[in-house]
Structure 1
Amino acid sequence: MVARIVDAGQRVLITHGYDGASTNRIALAADISPGSLYQYFPNKDAVVAAVIERYTREVAERVRARVLSNIGKPPEVSVPETISDLMDALGNDRELLRAVVEQTPRLSADAPVAAFEQQIGELARVTLSMGLYPIPEDVDADAAAWMLVRVVEHLTIRYLLDGPPIPRERFLADITRLILNFFREPPVRAERE
């Protein structure tokens, strides 16, 4: 029954957005009474949180598997492969991605989207701190992981939702360049006399 309600909540969220979703609409879509819905979920936010949690868990599992399989590969290979997998995972259901990103408020500080960012950030931080990839001494692995996860997440989501006239391979090449340049030593500038 829980899966049925979550499936219905997903359909309602996609069709009506967060503001248009209600427990009555979700119950109707699940073909159950509102009272039956309340036996499993106390309110609309709980259903929406379950929808988002399921979606982000599936995306996180896929990206986590790719990150782990890429450990030890050169960053020129691992970065675009990981981002490509992220694009595929997020893009499997663009309507749901749009609803989650554009229609759903962050329900709490421990919301599933924040948990997803935290999981991927931790993987990035651990990967950076393992010393497998050369990074300048002045780069803080925690700060770099936080920034890079959010840059990649934001650019990838906007690429998928906005559909700019940029071929996928060009996007992957450019975002990879952006990330790899973050870790390059800045050029030494000659002082002006």
Structure 2
Amino acid sequence: MVENIIGAGRQVLAEYGYEGASTSRIAATAGVSPGSLYQYFPHKDAIVLAVLERYGDTLVSHVTTRMTGQFAQPAPVVVRTALVALLDGLDVEPPLLRAVVEDGPRLDDGRALRAFEQRVGELVLAYLTTRRRELRPDVPLDTAVWMLVRTVEHLTVRYLLDRPPVPRDRFTEELTHLVLAYLRPPS
């Protein structure tokens, strides 16, 4: 039943946004009574937070799966693969992405976002550690991870929400260049 309620919460959040979501609407979508819903979730925010956590888990899993076995590839291939995986994962349900970005941080003071960034950061750190000799020696890895995760996160989310007149392949190529230029040691 919990999975059903979280799935309904995701659907309602994507369709109506945070303000339009209600426990009654979520219960109806889940096909359960409001009383049954309250046995598992005390209020709407608890459901939305569960949706946010699940969203982050799914996205990290998607990116990690796509990156498995890629670390031995040349850096441009690895970066491009990671960016495409992130874009694909975020673009599955744009209305949900909008709700997550606009309403998520105010619900939990950004804890779900920080948890997502931490997990992605661990993946980035693992990759950078394998390539340390090829990177700028003047930047500590923890600094590089923090900069890269937040830069890529912001640009990909804004790209998907704003839908600028930039073809996706062009966006991916430009962001790949940006990441590689940041990591590349001076000539």
**TM-score (ref. length: structure 2):** 0.91
Partner of 1:4: 4
Q: Partners of 1:45 and 1:3 in 2: how far apart?
A: 16
Partner of 1:44: 44
Deviation at residue 97 of structure 1 after TM alignment: 1.0
Question: Where do residues 75-114 of structure 1 align in structure 2 (5 Å cutoff)?
Answer: 75-108=75-108, 111-114=111-114
Deviation at residue 136 of structure 1 after TM alignment: 1.7
From the CA coordinates, give the structure whose radius of gyration is larger.
Answer: 1
Q: What secondary structure does 1:107 align onto?
A: helix
Contact 1:49/1:111 (8 A) holds in 2: no
Q: What secondary structure does 2:107 align onto?
A: coil
Q: Partners of 2:165 and 2:131 in 1: how far apart?
A: 37
User: Could you list the runs of 5+ residues in structure 2 that have no partner in the other structure?
Assistant: none
Partner of 1:16: 16
Partner of 1:191: none
Contact 1:72/1:132 (8 A) holds in 2: no
User: One-letter code of the match for 2:92?
Assistant: N
Residues 175 and 143 (structure 1), Cα distance of their counterparts in 2 relative to 1, 3 Å cut: same
Confirm whether residue 58 of structure 1 aligns to residue 70 of structure 2. no
Q: How many residues align?
A: 187
Contact 1:57/1:116 (8 A) holds in 2: yes
Residues 31 and 125 (structure 1), Cα distance of their counterparts in 2 relative to 1, 3 Å cut: same
Question: Where do residues 95-174 of structure 1 align in structure 2 (5 Å cutoff)?
Answer: 95-108=95-108, 111-131=111-131, 134-174=134-174
**TM-score (ref. length: structure 1):** 0.88
The ranges of structure 1 where at least 4 consecutive aligned residues each deviate by more than 4 angstroms after the TM superposition are: none
User: One-letter code of the match for 1:4?
Assistant: N
Contact 2:49/2:108 (8 A) holds in 1: no
Greater share of residues in helix: 2
Q: Partners of 1:180 and 1:105 in 2: how far apart?
A: 30
Residues 133 and 19 (structure 1), Cα distance of their counterparts in 2 relative to 1, 3 Å cut: farther
